[in-house]
Structure 1
């Protein structure tokens, strides 16, 4: 399914959560599972109130997470909202049946009246394969086969299909059909491996890239490879959007934002990945060319717009709640987004001309962004 994208279009800004459920890094206390799930639902409702474009919930089947049944949480948010787009972040296609995925998300699309999307992922934490009875040796093959089938179900009303990992489908009608023109937007989640970005280009699938650390210009290589693969496969690359996702945290000052964010993010990584977030990598977040969007409102505006210019993205999705960050802090971040960050970004991307900014000149970029966003204040 083609979704239009161009630098002349506004940049969509969203939020995603993986539903992590960890103790507070300073007190050691952990809220209940019930509270965490209901806070995620409230988070989605408040994201719409703040004017964000998208709210996403991912599934993660391991200790210290609560969003294993992410479609159930999305259904609650869909029922309680009316405008904001909703998606998975991501749905693990490798260990799920594409027929069931489509049935679930088509139903969610009917509940939300056409606001639902799928981000199709592979599972970065491989314990899920043992939990659901799959073999890690089939990691790549499972994903490619099931992703292809999911896209075929999305495009065709009657399915005839045969593969390696599930029973054949013969004249199968997969119901219900989605609210939005009988099709769902389906994105391919891409990690650090360029081969996945290239495969997405060959398939003509929009991509969703998660970026944790590193320089912006290093991450550009995957996006360039994707667009080259699109063109080589006969597609027009400008017709296919690119979405990026990463950590964001904003406070009144850059120093306060970094102090608060590191405490939670580092402890969250300790629980979920077995080791703390590297201090040296986190310290680089003060640089415009670093992918971590942590700082004051003006700093966040500059960094998001720099990534928009460098990558040519259509959507940026922020992870703010990782590591047990208190709900009050999340609401404060939404206040900054609503009052300062979203208006500036929308004004800039709405009036953007290709010759206004040279993104490789960091100092000139900052000066131009500050000039263009002053009118919003």
Structure 2
């Protein structure tokens, strides 16, 4: 099982006319990716958002910068909001990252958990599902036939026998679908023969077992071998020296983040009781001492048989020093123990 990290690169919103916070957050982010590479982790993903509380709106540019300071780690978006982007440019951007990194680029596509990019780039939210379906089909066709592409678009421009360059360093760019548990997403990924990432950020992981089963059952009906499918689990995570430190070091920042998001979505205030339940042995949070985190990752692996685990490592305005310490513990304590247990 591959072990990796991802982040949305949260930050405090800049004051009008200032880019200081974004500058510092992006500098910190590159340090985090460099450390993950040095520790031998397998993948690092960077999210795309168009809000004042996140610093990355162009993941490919961040990953291009990361390619110059890393040697081995795979570099992925987490996610690319494909519905409001241009599949041709997405392919070109990530092919360029692939060359800069020597074949380490990946694309994780999704519809996004926020909607700001749709009005920003002139897309109608009434076309939310159709945009993703059509743009994913185009991206996959380019990835398969980038030398000469012909495409008849409905919500996308048509292409008349044009090449799309540069070709990636790899034979094909790995393209994953990211999902939050919607059954249609499992069916889509399996039908297209694509690897799937499931984000588990609430409730109990065991509730998502039918989702993983649907993914594999759909692939089996299609004639594919479910044993060859790549399936990833993405969870909110934080590693501390000991269990008690999780509440004092992590809870205030995590609660503030959940409440900020929840304010837009009508959620009730996030409480310490909810936090403690979420980080209990069968809860969704992968938070606590190295031993607790190891146990939770192995528990999820027993449930899903996943081939990749991604820890969302810097959440809210958690200080950079704490993020780096958590990454260090994940790379030096958690990853070796998980790998040994799965031999």
Same fold (TM over 0.5): yes
Q: RMSD in angstroms over aligned alpha carbons?
A: 1.6
User: 3-state SS of the aligned residue for 2:166?
Assistant: coil
User: Residue 138 of structure 2 corresponds to which residue in structure 1?
Assistant: 149
User: Residue 287 of structure 2 corresponds to which residue in structure 1?
Assistant: 294
Please tell me whether the aligned partners of residues 239 and 327 of structure 2 are also in contact (alpha carbons under 8 angstroms).
Answer: no
Determine whether 1:282 maps to 2:275.
yes
Where in structure 1 are there 5+ consecutive unaligned residues?
Answer: 1-10, 24-29, 351-377
Larger displacement relative to structure 2 (222-231 or 251-260): 251-260
Please tell me whether the aligned partners of residues 64 and 271 of structure 1 are also in contact (alpha carbons under 8 angstroms).
Answer: no
After TM superposition, the structure 1 = structure 2 runs for residues 327-366 of structure 1, keeping only pairs within 5 Å, are: 327-350=320-343
Please tell me whether the aligned partners of residues 231 and 306 of structure 2 are also in contact (alpha carbons under 8 angstroms).
Answer: yes
1:234 pairs, out of 223, 246, 250, with 223
Please tell me whether the aligned partners of residues 86 and 117 of structure 1 are also in contact (alpha carbons under 8 angstroms).
Answer: yes
Structure 2 distance, partners of 1:165, 1:278, is: 43
2:60 pairs, out of 48, 51, 71, with 71
User: Residue 178 of structure 1 corresponds to which residue in structure 2?
Assistant: 168
Please tell me whether the aligned partners of residues 134 and 156 of structure 2 are also in contact (alpha carbons under 8 angstroms).
Answer: no
Render the CA deviation track for 1:190-236: whole Å, top value 9, x for unaligned.
11211111121111111011110111210111111111111111211
Q: How many residues align?
A: 333
Alpha-carbon offset, residue 301 of structure 1: 0.6
Structure 2 distance, partners of 1:309, 1:96, is: 36
1:203 pairs, out of 188, 192, 196, with 192
User: Residue 309 of structure 2 corresponds to which residue in structure 1?
Assistant: 316
Structure 1 distance, partners of 2:261, 2:308, is: 26
User: Residue 16 of structure 2 corresponds to which residue in structure 1?
Assistant: none
Structure 2 distance, partners of 1:273, 1:161, is: 40
Please tell me whether the aligned partners of residues 135 and 156 of structure 2 are also in contact (alpha carbons under 8 angstroms).
Answer: no
User: Residue 362 of structure 1 corresponds to which residue in structure 2?
Assistant: none
Structure 1 distance, partners of 2:169, 2:153, is: 28
1:80 pairs, out of 69, 76, 100, with 69
1:189 pairs, out of 175, 178, 186, with 178
Q: Which has the higher contact order (CA 8 A, sep 6+)?
A: 1
Structure 2 distance, partners of 1:31, 1:269, is: 24
User: Residue 225 of structure 1 corresponds to which residue in structure 2?
Assistant: 214
TM-score by length of 2: 0.93
| 278 and 207 in structure 1: CA distance in 2 versus 1, 3 angstrom threshold | farther
Please tell me whether the aligned partners of residues 22 and 271 of structure 1 are also in contact (alpha carbons under 8 angstroms).
Answer: no
User: Residue 215 of structure 1 corresponds to which residue in structure 2?
Assistant: 204
Alpha-carbon offset, residue 278 of structure 1: 4.8
TM-score by length of 1: 0.85
User: 3-state SS of the aligned residue for 2:120?
Assistant: helix
Structure 2 distance, partners of 1:320, 1:338, is: 12
Alpha-carbon offset, residue 179 of structure 1: 0.5
Task: Give runs of ≥4 in structure 1 deviating > 3 Å.
Answer: 275-281
Structure 1 distance, partners of 2:274, 2:190, is: 30
Alpha-carbon offset, residue 279 of structure 1: 3.9
Structure 2 distance, partners of 1:60, 1:22, is: 14
Render the CA deviation track for 1:307-338: whole Å, top value 9, x for unaligned.
11210101111112111111110121122123
Structure 2 distance, partners of 1:194, 1:271, is: 27
